[in-house]
Chain A
Amino acid sequence: MKPAGFAYHRPATVDDAVAVLAEVSPAGKVLAGGQSLVPLLNMRLAAPEHLVDINRLTELAYVRVDGDEVTVGALARHADVEHDDAAYAVLPLLRDTLEHVAHPTIRNRGTTVGSIAHADPAGELTAVLTLLGGTATLRSMRGERTVAAADFFTGPLTTCADADELVTSVTFPVPEGRTGAVWTEVARRHGDYAVCGTGVVVTLDDDLRVAGARSAYVSMGPEPAVLDLTDAVAGAMYDDADWAAAGRLAAGRLEPDDDIHATAAYRSHLAEVLTARAAGDAARRAAVA
């Protein structure tokens, strides 16, 4: 389990980084926290000719709260985002979700942007970014562009980012209106990738009736799936809505696969149960928001 040979680059600025990426494209790969990439290299499942280490790009080590959105730079570790009180104040969902991502040691090293760039359909942050309708900002020598999450993820472990592009940041918008958001999941062991995980955002109107409900899932298909559950619960009082119906609606729309840890039938069942639980909790949170 030793990687194949590669050339190693360690640029000091974002400008240098995109220059190197352009130079070596398409044979380069960004190295951030390495928590996903290094195992792939060691098992020789990936063998890029060039590694561009971005750990010197301190200009990207930030978590920024701008009114109704939280922007996370490419060098912010999961732990930085998790422990950022300003981000928690406006968007508690981030911390609540990150607590389910791996273990503290891995969160100390792994980056939030890296996990999104990696586009693992089991990665919680991919689902959260999609659920909130967030964006990713990409830079290359050719310029900068901002892409909606829905367009960013193009398949399992694939995104629209080109080989010469660096994802410099991602932005999580704070949901508008009176909302509550909850992440819940079932994992085999503490900190494992979920067997099924879901994040739900419920919006209430001024009378505390359900105005909208949306959910996103991990490990329930090849890409982060986002569902609109409003039909099942619209107009109901927040504490009296038929969340089980919302769960059934969700389960009916998802097509998970079997794997060695769980059957598809069990995953669908979990989606139903967890959606109902999370949605009910989210509605209660919205009510006191």
Chain B
Amino acid sequence: MFTALLAVAIGATVLSGLVTVYYDIPRQMMREFRSYGANLILAPSGGAASLPAGEAERALRYFPAESVVGAAPYRYKAAKINEQPFMLAGTDPAQARKTSPYWFVNGEWPQARGDALIGQNVADTIRLAPGGEFTLTGLNSEGEGFSRDFRVSGIVQTGGTEEAFIFVSLADFDGLIGETGEFDLVECSISASADELQGFAEQIAEDVPGVTPRLVRRVTQSEVTVLAKLQSLVYLVTVIVLLLTMICVATTMMAVVAERRQEIGLKKALGAANRSVAAEFLGEGMFLGGLGGVLGSALGFAFAQTVSVNVFHRPIAFQPLFIPATLAVSVVITALASLIPVRSATDVDPAVVLRGE
């Protein structure tokens, strides 16, 4: 019985560990290939600190309208919360969302004025949760001090420096810092091949003097394929582990049934119906599955955490839903694995009791 418990626990560990990693790998990969969204950045030319909005618009017109997935302008300025320095960024939230689809937002993107999307670092430092409020202070472009209250609409995890940023709408930003009609940069997501993009970029560099287009490497098709292959590998390993667990549980239960032949025969001789005998073994098997599942969920998380920290260099998010899921799978697996042993238990002949060994 202990062997079976061990088998279920190990099975559940590998299962919940793999599924956790499986669930997290895409997110981790997205973070690794951060440029998944934006593949072109419009930056100011030469020594200029910013690029005029009109120039950026002119540059964007070089792309066929339907190929522009998103174009998010950004303005940056240092600001403080509780005397802690952070970077304030003004953008168009709707466009930013399109150029940064890999961002993991807990809560909402800013929708109304006075809403702010804050990075995970900011949230951790100031201890803010979605729905919380904070006061932003700083100096505007004229050098005059400002102070304004914002509401946290969401907290963003990107795996990059953005986690130390506070994102607000351009309108809010302009209201605080002052309207200049210029952006620090524009992130663009263009659906075009690498060659086409290169062509557009060269043309813009030549024709639009205020703008320097920079190409950003995007996740290539082959990388996506690797990801998909990795996921199907995880599937395969999971299925194999489940099968091995079932075989191990089934053989252990078979041994237990053989060992308890006399006891089963006795119970049947005393008048136990097949239903009772089956229920006893199934119940035992499912209890085993539950116990193994609990052990496995805990060990599985530790396992996934180790893998994630070693391979991706970042911790994994705890998924509370995986515990009941692992538990349910363990119970179902042990119940299935117990079917044949239960069958052989009900087949025991009550006449064995009087015959002895």
Q: Do A and B bind each other?
A: no
